[in-house]
Amino acid sequence: MNLQRVEMSKQKPEVRRQNFDEVAFGYTPEEAMAEASRCLDCKKPGCVGNCPVEVNIPDFIRCIKAGDFAEGIRIIRQKNCLPAVTGRVCPQEEQCEGGCVFAKRGGQIAIGRLERFLADWEASQGINTGSIKKPRPTGRKVAVIGGGPAGLTVAGDLIQLGHQVTVYEALHKVGGVLVYGIPEFRLPKRIVRREVDYLTSLGVEMVTSYVVGKTRTVDSLLEEYDAIFVGSGAGLPWFMEIPGNNLNGVYSANEYLTRMNLMKGYTFPSVQTPIKQHHRVAVIGGGNVAMDCARTALRLGAEAHIVYRRSRQELPARLEEVENAEEEGVIFDFLTLPLACLGNENSWVTGLSCQKMELGEPDASGRRSPVAIPGSEFVMPVDAIIYAIGNSPNPLIPSTTPGLAIGRKGNIEAEEATGKTSKARVWAGGDVVTGAATVILAMGAGRKAARAIHRYLQTLEEE
Amino acid sequence: MIPVLERTMVAPNIHNLRLQAPDVARSAKPGQFVILQAEEDGERIPLTISDWDAEKGDITVVFMQVGATTGKLALLKAGDSIPTAAGPLGNPMELGNFGTVICVGGCYGIASIYPIARALKEMNNRVICVVEARSSFLFYWQEKLRKTSDEMIFITRDGSLGRRGHINNLGSIIPSIKGGVDRVIINGCNYVMMRGCEETRPLGIKTIVSLNTLMIDGTGMCGVCRVTVNGSNKFACVDGPHFDGHEVNWDELSSRRQAYLREETVTLRTSAPEKER
Ligand SMILES: Cc1cc2nc3c(=O)[nH]c(=O)nc-3n(C[C@H](O)[C@H](O)[C@H](O)COP(=O)(O)OP(=O)(O)OC[C@H]3O[C@@H](n4cnc5c(N)ncnc54)[C@H](O)[C@@H]3O)c2cc1C
Ligand SMILES: Cc1cc2nc3c(=O)[nH]c(=O)nc-3n(C[C@H](O)[C@H](O)[C@H](O)COP(=O)(O)OP(=O)(O)OC[C@H]3O[C@@H](n4cnc5c(N)ncnc54)[C@H](O)[C@@H]3O)c2cc1C
Ligand code: SF4
Ligand code: SF4
Ligand code: FES
């Protein structure tokens, strides 16, 4: 057993912290083949069951080993319509790679990097191997609400089954968090663009700047479509209930990242999106979103701090992203609880008042929760504060769709296996059902819903 | 792409823009707005839908040319197109039979108050329109407003038409109205709305304003539009933009609105008299 993963080369930290280009370069064909050759092609592979869309991992790795990249990407695309995305952003350590037989000994096959390699190879060849034969049109129409990974998966699956699909997206670009949230240096926008263009070439109609619930309600769409999938995500940002939140210079992660990504603020002033030059930025939170904000702030020339109330071990972000952030020079202030945003007479942020914490005794769940250290209050001088503490589903669709059962957290209630909601002919999946989760879980939910929608549409045909 | 049907200047710096947007036109209600982009990758800005024709499928926005995006919009001509006009966003204005309603409009608010006045008139309210500008040549849409109101009152800073002064005239106008006033609705720049509310507060008349915050998505996703109303945090795009003006934290609102403004340009964009700026 060879436990040595083939490393993927990256831009050097001191270089990449100055630019918005992608951090990791990806494998060369030789590196990919070397990494692939470590795979044992297990009879009962643990990896596949751990992938929410059940990519046939051993098969595509075998193709890489043999140098047949075209066949490899074809195998992936049977199950995964966004491989260039998932290969980059899936939390592989918890998903596919976590199930690999090597994982226990720390040398799991770099499945994500291999997947990315094949997707990038495909792009470099200027081909798309998804679907070649045109399906027979069924005459059935499906509306997909939200152009994030959940919605795009449903669109891709159903169009290939011959149904007519229209995606309605509120923003002016399709891709969901992939375009407005995850920064360019982690997921170049041209990659999302390419996948969306591919779906368009299959015949999916993309309608942007269309806010369902406002421009048109779900009920009104139901008059025109046979089925509806709601994949509207979890886009409503949370703020802490502390004083000073509405000072200038306090942002939600969504605002900050949207300005930088969707609106290309990082190229200001060549585009109109105004951005401020901040010098010292505090990002509150410890997940992927917080890392993305801190690393963006850093690239715009600020000293970036992550303010997190627990310790490094508890950081919910992917380890790889934490390490990238550390290498680039993001400063981590662990065991630190924000108390108030402070401002000057012009209502601009001047500091974040904080308190130090320590980890207390393990509670019933075994987790050591942080407790405040009395008298440890201090002020962190900063000129911007970014909240990256979570999002919940947007109420726009729930509040305008009678008969749709809504959970306590504002999420749409849907059956796990099928995405079926309480409302006839309406399915839902992704973050709007689960709350903020991951790209691949959203895609998995989309896949299940697409299957269920297809089954339903077939019953109509038989009538 | 959204086709431009017409763009005309209706008063110095104030433009009428008619767009073909059938789905928006079909759903629009008084007080709602659209988010526009003048070009791909440009800023997204909110503008009130000031008129629309559901059958023809067009909407009209009236905007004041103040900055980059409105500057580009001001150059459009029929046959051009813009990438984005998403809407109708925000909640419609609360309508009903209130009795006597004063509809106040300043700058772009002269247009954005129009569909509200029209709807209130249709619901058998007595509608009194108060329009305010620096000088008489800055008024527009007067015929439209006249048709939807029982009475029109003009205020100009230079006294060239109607009453001389500014929005603080409201304090003397209201008591002069026979039968009393049941509700005041003010549209315009934040200064006009804030000062108007100061006049109606001591009179105890419910006053609804349509807040002018920064916005990006207009759907509750970014939070840039947050305002404090009655002590709690609201997102103007989804919880508003209409609020009880007596409950709005105006200081916070104006400082947030101006977060990206260079001081010297402020003078171009407000109708506040010098000493109160
Ligand atoms: C900064 C950031 C970093 C992340 N990093 C990772 C990562 O590294 N790995 C990972 O796996 N996950 C990551 N995630 C989480 C992941 O992006 C989400 O879980 C995933 O995108 C959810 O997909 P979705 O399709 O359910 O929703 P979304 O991607 O949120 O898409 C929903 C879409 O619906 C649109 N919409 C909403 N309401 C309406 C409406 N009324 N009408 C029309 N359209 C509407 C929205 O505009 C949006 O485009 C990250 C999230 C963020 C914010
Ligand atoms: C609900 C609502 C309805 C409105 N209706 C109308 C209307 O009917 N007619 C009308 O004339 N005006 C209306 N406004 C105001 C209008 O949106 C602004 O005048 C417009 O955004 C100005 O854009 P600009 O690019 O031309 O000027 P800008 O140059 O953008 O405005 C001045 C400054 O503000 C900054 N800025 C503007 N928008 C943002 C943003 N989203 N984020 C960060 N910075 C920003 C700019 O960078 C600049 O420094 C409305 C506002 C709201 C909230
Ligand atoms: S889609 Fe994600 S979880 Fe599945 S194999 Fe690819 S990287 Fe792993
Ligand atoms: S579990 Fe690991 S070694 Fe086995 S097939 Fe999957 S990737 Fe290869
Ligand atoms: S404009 Fe983004 S939340 Fe209101």
B135 plus B35 within the same structural domain: no
pLDDT (tens digit, 9 = 90+) per residue, B44-90? 899 999 999 999 999 999 999 988 889 999 999 999 999 999 989 99
CATH code of the domain containing B147:
3.40.50.80
Domain ranges of chain A: 13-124, 141-235+392-462, 239-389
- Residue B254 is predicted with a pLDDT of 84
- Residue B268 is predicted with a pLDDT of 47
B108 plus B78 within the same structural domain: no
Task: Please check whether residue B147 lies inside any domain of the structure.
Answer: yes
B81 plus B104 within the same structural domain: no
B14 plus B54 within the same structural domain: yes
CATH code of the domain containing B82:
2.40.30.10
Annotated binding site of B: 222, 225, 237
Q: Which long-range contacts (CB under 8 A, 24 or more apart) does A298-304 make?
A: A298/A17, A298/A328, A298/A329, A298/A330, A299/A17, A299/A18, A299/A19, A299/A20, A299/A185, A299/A266, A300/A260, A300/A266, A300/A275, A301/A277, A302/A278, A302/A384, A303/A279, A303/A331, A304/A329, A304/A330, A304/A331
The nearest CA of chain A is from the CA of B212 a distance in Å of: 15
B169 plus B106 within the same structural domain: yes
Q: Does A227 touch chain B (CB under 8 A)?
A: no
Which homologous superfamily does the CATH classification assign to the domain defined by A141-235+392-462? Answer: FAD/NAD(P)-binding domain (3.50.50.60)
Annotated binding site of B for [2Fe-2S] cluster: 222, 225, 237
Residues A414/A60, Cβ–Cβ less than 8 Å: no
- Asked if ipTM goes beyond 0.95, one says no
Chain A residues within an 8 Å CB radius of B71: none
- Residue B264 is predicted with a pLDDT of 36
Cβ of A89 less than 6 Å from ligand 1: yes
Query: If we measure between CA atoms, which residue out of A324, A266, A249, A313 comes closest to residue A291?
Result: A324
Domain end, chosen from B29, B61, B89, is at B89
Give 10-residue mean pLDDT values along chain B (277 residues). Answer: 94 95 95 93 90 96 90 93 93 94 94 96 94 92 93 92 89 89 93 92 94 92 93 92 95 80 46 50
pTM, to two decimals: 0.90
Encoded amino acid at A249, one letter: G
Task: Please check whether residue B130 lies inside any domain of the structure.
Answer: yes
B84 plus B109 within the same structural domain: no
Residues A150/A52, Cβ–Cβ less than 8 Å: no
Residue from B13, B70, B113, B237 to probe ligand 2 pocket by mutation (most atoms less than 8 Å from CB): B70
* Ligand 5 atom nearest to B220, measured from its CA: 3
For chain B, how many structural domains are there in total? 2
B208 plus B123 within the same structural domain: yes
Residues A307/A378, Cβ–Cβ less than 8 Å: no
Domains A13-124 and A141-235+392-462 share a fold: no
Domain end, chosen from B89, B120, B140, is at B89
Q: Which domain holds residue B195?
A: 100-276
B158 plus B202 within the same structural domain: yes
Q: Edge-to-edge, what's the strand order for the sheet holding A227-230? A: A205-207, A164-168, A141-145, A227-230, A426-428
Q: Which long-range contacts (CB under 8 A, 24 or more apart) does B175-182 make?
A: B175/B203, B177/B100, B177/B102, B177/B128, B179/B100, B179/B126, B180/B99, B180/B100, B181/B100, B181/B101, B181/B102, B181/B128, B181/B205, B182/B98, B182/B99, B182/B100, B182/B101, B182/B206
Task: Please check whether residue B249 lies inside any domain of the structure.
Answer: yes
B135 plus B263 within the same structural domain: yes
Residue among B42, B69, B87 whose CB faces A215 most closely = B87
- Residue A3 is predicted with a pLDDT of 81
What percentage of chain B carries pLDDT values higher than 70? 93
Query: If we measure between CA atoms, which residue out of A234, A434, A248 comes closest to residue B219?
Result: A234
A246·B233 Cβ contact <8 A: yes
Residue from A6, A40, A111 to probe ligand 4 pocket by mutation (most atoms less than 8 Å from CB): A40
Cβ of A249 less than 6 Å from ligand 1: no
Alpha carbon of B70 to ligand 2 centroid (Å): 8
Sign of the torsion angle spanned by Cα atoms A267, A271, A276, A281: negative
Which CATH code is given to the segment(s) A13-124? Answer: 1.10.1060.10
* Cα–Cα distance for residue pair B23/B247, rounded to 1 Å: 34
Task: Please determine, looking at this structure, whether the domain spanning A239-389 carries the CATH number 3.50.50.60.
Answer: yes
B27 plus B152 within the same structural domain: no
Residue among B37, B68, B223 whose CB faces A172 most closely = B37
Q: What does the pLDDT profile of chain A (463 residues) look like in tens digits?
A: 788 899 898 999 988 988 888 899 999 999 999 999 999 999 999 999 999 888 999 999 999 999 999 999 999 988 888 999 999 999 998 899 999 999 988 889 999 999 999 999 999 887 766 655 678 889 999 999 999 999 999 999 999 999 999 999 999 999 999 999 999 999 999 999 998 998 998 899 999 999 999 999 999 999 999 999 999 999 899 999 999 999 999 999 999 998 887 766 555 555 555 567 789 999 999 999 999 999 999 998 899 999 999 999 889 898 889 999 999 999 999 999 999 999 998 889 999 999 999 988 887 777 778 899 999 999 999 999 999 999 999 889 999 999 999 998 899 999 999 999 999 999 999 999 999 899 999 999 999 999 999 999 999 865 5
Domain end, chosen from B89, B118, B136, is at B89
B193 plus B79 within the same structural domain: no
B69 plus B105 within the same structural domain: no
Residue among A216, A236, A272 whose CB faces B221 most closely = A236
